[in-house]
Amino acid sequence: VEIVAKFTVHDDSPKIKPEVVKRLQSVEILITDTHILKDILYQLPNMKLVQVTSAGVENLLPNIDRSEPVPKYTIVRASCFGILMAEYVVAGIINFERGLYRYFELQKTKCWDDLLSLNFRTLSDLHVAILGAGVIGEEIAKSLVRFGATVHGFAKRTRSSEELRRSSFQKISVDLRSLLEDCHYLVNALPSTPNTVGLLNGDVLRQCKNSPVFINIGRGNIIAEDCLLNALKQKWISGAMLDVFEVEPLPRSSPLWATPDVIITPHMSGPSRPQEVVKSFMINFEKFLAGEPLVHTFSFDSEY
C-alpha cells in the first residue's frame, strides 16, 4: 500500500500540486475530501474506489461535466455521522424543552428562577418530523423513539410496509404538508441537491400548526435566511437550532446572531473524525475486495 499524499486542509480551496495529480494517475483507491476531489474528478484514469470524508457531496456538483463520460470509479460517502447528529438533535430538543439556554443567560445576572422548569414536555410527549429518511435520519429517529417520541419522516419516495417495519419511523411520507401540520420539532437532515434547495422557502412553514422548533443539521440552503427570519417573526416556528447556513461561516452581519430563541453552532453536529471515517471506509473496502455491492454510494445521475 502506497500513501501518495497526505493533506492538511486549512481552507475550502486546497490546491493539489501537479506532481501529486501525476502520481494519482496509477492510484486505484483514494480517501479524500470533496474539496480536493472536485478538482480532479476526471483525472483519475485507474481509480476504482473513492471514499470521501463527508456525508454531503454538493461540492462536487458544480464540477460535473455532462459532456464528459461519467467516471468509472465509485464514490462512497462517509456513513459515520448518524449517531453524532442524533445526539446533537436529542440535546437540542432537551435544551429547548427544559430552557437550558435561558438558564445560561439568567446565570450571568445571578438570577434564580425556578418557574421555567415547570413548563416543559418530555420526549415522549413530542411529535418530531425529520426531513430525510436515509442513514442519518434513521439514526435520529432511532434515538428519539427510544425515549418514546412519535417520529415521522419525509422522503422523496414512498416506502413499502416491509421497509417501514424495518425502520424506526412510525410513518414515512412524500407529503411535506402532512408532516408539518402536526410536528412539535422539525429536523432537517436532507443533503443539498437541486430538489432540496429552497424546499422550505416562502410560506411553506405556515403549514405548521404547532409552531415547532426548527433544527437544521442538513444544509443551510434548504431555506433562505430571510424566509427563516420571517417564519420566526410570524411565529410559524417558535425557535431554531442551526448548525448549517447558506453562507459559512455565518457573517457577523447576519440578524440570526441576535434573534431570540435561536441557537447557532458552527457546523459541528457531525464532525469528520478520522477514526470514524476509517471505520466507514473499511466497511466498503471489505465489500470491494469481496466483489459485493458497495453502500452509501454517490450517483452522478441523481447528484447524490
Same-domain pairing of 230 and 124: yes
Domain span holding position 169: 82-264
Same-domain pairing of 112 and 235: yes
**Which residues, in sequence order, are CB contacts of 98 under 8 Å at separation 6+?**
117, 120
* The pLDDT of residue 74: 98
**Which residues, in sequence order, are CB contacts of 192 under 8 Å at separation 6+?**
56, 58, 218, 219, 221, 222
* 119 pLDDT tier (thresholds 50, 70, 90): confident
Same-domain pairing of 119 and 43: no
Q: What ranges in the chain are assigned the alpha helix state H?
A: 18-23, 34-37, 82-98, 100-108, 135-146, 161-166, 176-182, 225-233, 274-290
**Residue 116 pLDDT greater than 80, yes or no:** no
* The pLDDT of residue 1: 54
* 11 pLDDT tier (thresholds 50, 70, 90): very low
Same-domain pairing of 125 and 75: no
Mean pLDDT of 101-105: 92
Same-domain pairing of 239 and 253: yes
Chain-wide mean pLDDT for the chain?
Answer: 93
**Residue 269 pLDDT greater than 50, yes or no:** yes
> What is the CATH number for 65?
3.40.50.720
Task: Answer yes or no: is 297 within a domain.
Answer: no
Same-domain pairing of 76 and 92: no
Same-domain pairing of 156 and 168: yes
Whether the predicted model's global pTM rises above the 0.85 cut: yes
Same-domain pairing of 124 and 97: yes
Same-domain pairing of 143 and 283: no
Same-domain pairing of 123 and 179: yes
Burial class (CB in 10 A: 0-12, 13-18, 19+), 194: exposed
Task: Answer yes or no: is 160 within a domain.
Answer: yes
Domain count, the chain: 2
Same-domain pairing of 256 and 110: yes
Same-domain pairing of 86 and 235: yes
For the stretch 45-79, pLDDT in tens is 999 999 999 988 999 999 999 999 999 999 999 98
| Torsion, Cα of 247, 249, 251, 257 (10° steps) | 100
